[in-house]
Structure 1
Amino acid sequence: MATETEVGELLHQRGWRMAFTVAERVDAWAALVSSVERGYGDDIHEYTNDLYCRNWLHEAWLLLDEHIVQLWTPQIRSLDERFKAATVDDGGQALALFHRLPGPDLWWWRRHPRILTDDLGRSLRSAGAIGTEPDTA
Structure 2
Amino acid sequence: MSPEDNEAAVGERLHRRGWRKAFTVEEMVAGWAWLVGQVERGYEDDVEEYVNELSCRTWLHEAWLLLDDRTVLLWTGRIEELDRRFRAATADDDGVALDRFHRIPPPELWWWRRHPRVLVGDLGRALRPLL
Give TM-score scaled by structure 2 length: 0.96
Q: 1:85 aligns with which of 74, 84, 88?
A: 88
Structure 2 segments unaligned to the other structure (5+ residues)? none
Q: Secondary structure at the match of 1:112?
A: strand
2:61 is matched with 58
Query: How many pairs does the alignment contain?
Result: 128
1:66-121, Cα deviation, whole Å (9 max, x unpaired): 00000000000000000000000011110111100001100000000000001000
1:102 aligns with 2:105: yes
Match of 1:15 in 2: 18
Classify the secondary structure of the residue corresponding to 1:88: strand
The answer to whether the aligner puts 1:33 opposite 2:5 as a matched pair is no
User: 1:59 offset after TM fit, Å?
Assistant: 0.1
Does residue 73 in structure 1 map to residue 84 in structure 2? no
Runs in 1 of length 4+ with deviation above 4 angstroms? none
RMSD over aligned Cα, in angstroms? Answer: 1.1
Alignment deviations for residues 35-69 of structure 1 (CA, whole Å, 9 cap, x no partner): 00000010000000000000000000000000000
Structure 2 residue identity aligned to 1:60:
A
Which runs of no fewer than 5 residues in structure 1 stay unpaired? 129-137
1:113 aligned to 2:116?
yes
Question: Which residue identity is paired with 1:7?
Answer: V
* Paired letter, 2:117: R
